[in-house]
Amino acid sequence: MTPTAVRAELREGDRGPVLAISGRLDVETAAAARREIHAKLAGAPAKALEVDASGVDHGDMSGMVLLYELEEGRLAPGVRARITELKPEFRTLLSAFPSREAIEALEPHRARRTLPVEVGAHSLSLLRDLREQVTFVGAVAQGFGAALRSPRAMRWPEVALAVEKAGVNAVPIVSLISLLAGLIIAFEASQPLAMFGAQAYIADIIGIVMIREFGPIFTAIILAGRSGSAFAAELGTMKVNEELNALTTMGLNPMRFLVMQRVLAGMLLMPVLTAFSMLTGVVGGILVMLAMGFPFAEIWSHLAGAVRVSDVLVGTSKSIVFGAIVAGLGCLRGMQTKEGPSAVGDSATRAVVAGILMIIVVDAIFAVVTNALQV
């Protein structure tokens, strides 16, 4: 069959105007056919219309939709055309279009929820989430208790693997970001301090800021982005594949099997990563000061005078808590994964967002407590 272009002719029949459509009426020609039909019907009186489709020799559903629209009065407003002489194979296609009633009976896309319902549902889910988090913290604490009693039950090779992936592999990025942060802080501080001739105190600022605050926070945020999300995605995929169910029905506790070693790994690797961050951050500050012409001995004496042992201890203990939070939230969000193609991605997002939020909140708590204790 050699497909020809579509043609439409308007002629006067016995019982009113007849629109004769012929040629090829398919996905390729539908747009041209619509233009042609519109043009031919433009000047015609809006009365009864007959469509002579005997000349249609090739067609598909995308072409037949035009005949359906003519039949339903959608193309020529107010005129419901009568389709005649359509070949049976195309009649089959045309008959597949749903009736007007069937279209109207379709379920609405999605029932809109009213504001109070939305607020209520959201509050409930927040409360439920809080409850799950408390339960989770309890389960992790219980897991640590069990691990202390029988350390051999802990899956140490997996702890090592998690430390390598989340810790060792993160050393370059943590070092680079901290170095640049140290450079930037030193640069920005040098301008206002210059007004008082106090640029030597850049060393004090950089030491305290990097060791007490930014070292742990930067490292924790990088860990949340790199590994919190990865934990959530790993456990989420396992949940979607029913691997978590398989563990449970085998009588194995997913907490002990999957969560404990990741949380432990987080707590072990964070102080080390943070030490890298503190060190490179301070190095960044020192580089700026050296470039400004300060001798190293002076920089060092400022640093040694400003940074106390308690600063290092506070920074390090923060980092352990941050490690537990980021790894734990990653695992929790992974285990909470729902069904559907976007579920794993949602869990990873939730892990990172909740992780960063909790880091800042806990850091604020640390600030208040250490201030009260004067350390």
Q: What is the dihedral of CA 313, 316, 317, 323, to 10 degrees?
A: 180
CA dist list (Å): 142 to 147, 193, 260, 264, 322: 9, 51, 10, 13, 19
Q: What is the DSSP letter of 45?
A: -
Rank residues 61 and 146 by Cβ distance to other proteins and give the closer one: 61
Please state, in angstroms and rounded to a whole number, the distance separating the CA atoms of residues 96 and 90: 10
Question: Which of 6, 21, 65, 202: binder of other proteins (CB under 8 A)?
Answer: 65
- Per-residue binding string, other proteins, 45-64, x by CB under 8 A, is ---------------xxx-x
Among 18, 19, 24, 26, which residue sits at the site for other proteins (rule: CB under 8 A)? 26
Which range, of 26-34, 169-177, 236-244, 257-265, touches other proteins by CB under 8 A? 26-34
Query: Considering beta carbons, is residue 55 or 345 the nearer one to other proteins?
Result: 345
Task: State yes or no: residue 341 binds other proteins (CB under 8 A).
Answer: yes
Name residue 16's beta-bridge partners: 13
Give residue 347's identity as a one-letter amino acid code: S
Nearer to other proteins, 12 or 107 (CB): 107
Q: What is each CA distance from 96 to 61, 90, 183, 218, in whole angstroms? A: 9, 10, 70, 61
Q: What tokens appear for 209 in the block?
A: 């800021």
Q: How far is the CB of 74 from other proteins (least distance, A)?
A: 7
Binds other proteins by CB under 8 A, chosen from 45, 98, 120, 172: 98
Position among 92, 123, 125, 169 found at the interface with other proteins (CB under 8 A): 92
Rank residues 22 and 62 by Cβ distance to other proteins and give the closer one: 62
Number of residues that bind other proteins (CB under 8 A): 32
List the one residue from 108, 145, 251, 293 that touches other proteins (CB under 8 A). 108
Looking at 10, 16, 69, 213, which residue binds other proteins (CB under 8 A)?
69
Query: DSSP assignment of 266-327, as one string?
Result: HHHHHHHHHHHHHHHHHHHHHHHHHHHT--HHHHHHHHHHH--HHHHHHHHHHHHHHHHHHH
Which of 12, 14, 101, 102 is in the footprint of other proteins by CB under 8 A? Answer: 102
Rounded distance between C-alpha atoms, residue 187 and residue 199, angstroms: 10
Stretch that binds other proteins, among 86-94, 122-130, 144-152, 305-313 (CB under 8 A): 86-94
> For 132-137, which contacts have Cβ atoms below 8 Å and span 24 or more sequence positions?
132/332, 132/336, 133/332, 136/328, 136/332, 137/328
Rule CB under 8 A: which residues touch other proteins?
26-27, 30-31, 34, 60-62, 64-66, 68-69, 74, 89, 92-93, 96-98, 102-103, 105-110, 339-342
